[in-house]
Amino acid sequence: MLRHRLSTLLAVIYAAALFGFIFLPVAVLVLFSFQDGRLPVPPFNGFSLQWYEAIFADRKLMAALLNSLIVATASSAVACLLGFMAAYGFARYKLPGSVLQRGLLIAPMTVSYLIIALGLLTVLNTLGIGLSLWTVGIGHVVINLPLCFAIIYSSMGDHHVNIERAARDLGASDWKVMLLVTAPMLMPSILASFFLSVTFSWDEFIIAFLLSRFNVTLPVEIWSLLRSGLNPKTNAIGSVVFLASIALLAILELTLFRKKNTP
């Protein structure tokens, strides 16, 4: 009995330590975004919303936030579309060197963002394309496409083949089969890859930093804020970013969870 209690206690302590380790930094960040004072460090002087006021009044920050939203949704939509079409091609047609090609598609996942950014920078320079939010978007498509492809490809089972065949048998063209049958059937995994892409793009710094110039995304703007020293404002904007990611994750979980209950 005692042993049992002891092991339960240890398990609880372990779990607490685990979650503490993961979430304590975030909790501290959020806590000091409410700091009534100029420094986001202990002691906590009291509760204040002044820093949130400050960030929402900061036009540069708000512009960066909007830029981030645009880049995240647009690049994720493109990555999803390309990933879906690639997955459809590989799952439904016999292509030469299929295994190799699929490997090549997924390979960028293993390359560091820094290398991808440098590579893209060189290419863009050579082509004479100026840096802008577009180039950041291209970079984010490059990093998210392998992910979208992998998720969607893995959910394209053979059990869908007969359903597509039935659609074709009833007179649907290849495009209609894809649009009206395949894509709706794969919607859970398409949504999952879309939302994951959005969160990755939303948080991404290195590519956004190296491939942008005047219009920047939120992480880049935060970084330039940080250069002028610690400030509860950075905590506040960090909390907003965190909240947005959590909200997206919640949507993702809910949509996937709902789909799982009704296969």
Partner 1 sequence: MTAAVSIRTVSRLFHQFTALNEVSLEIAAGEFIVLLGPSGCGKTTLLSILGGFLLPSSGQVLIADKDMTFVPPARRPTTTMFQDYALFPHMCLRDNVGFGLRMRGMARAERYEKAFGFLDLVGLKASSAKKPHELSGGQRQRVALARALAVDPDVLLLDEPLGALDLKLRRQMQDELKAIQKRVGTTFVHVTHDQEEAMAIADRIVVMNAGRIEDVGAPAEIYMRPKSLFSAGFMGEVNFLDGKAIARDDDDVLVETPLGRLALPATAFTAGDARAGQKLSLVIRPEHFRGPAETAGSPGSLSLGEARITSSAFFGTHQRCHVAPVSSPSLSLVVHMPQTAQLADGVCVPLAVQAADIVALPAVTEA
Summarize as ranges the residues that interact with partner 1 (CB under 8 A).
159, 162-163, 165-173, 176, 180-181, 184-185, 187, 262-263
Nearer to partner 1, 94 or 159 (CB): 159
Nearer to partner 1, 177 or 207 (CB): 177
Residue 25 CA to residue 156 CA, distance in Å, equals 39
Phi first, then psi: give them for residue 119, nearest 5 degrees. Answer: -60, -50
One-letter amino acid for residue 167 of the chain: A
Q: For residue 84, what are the contacts with CB-CB under 8 A and spacing of at least 6?
A: 148, 152, 183, 186, 190
Q: Quote the least distance from Cβ 202 to partner 1, whole Å.
A: 29
Nearer to partner 1, 11 or 180 (CB): 180
Q: Quote the least distance from Cβ 260 to partner 1, whole Å.
A: 12
Nearer to partner 1, 50 or 173 (CB): 173
Three-class SS state of 191: helix
Q: Quote the least distance from Cβ 168 to partner 1, whole Å.
A: 6
Q: Quote the least distance from Cβ 94 to partner 1, whole Å.
A: 14
Residue 3 CA to residue 15 CA, distance in Å, equals 18
Nearer to partner 1, 38 or 176 (CB): 176
Cα-based torsion angle of the residue sequence 198, 156, 112, 71 in order, rounded to the nearest 10 degrees: -20
Which residue carries 């004072």 as its tokens? Answer: 37
Q: Quote the least distance from Cβ 159 to partner 1, whole Å.
A: 7
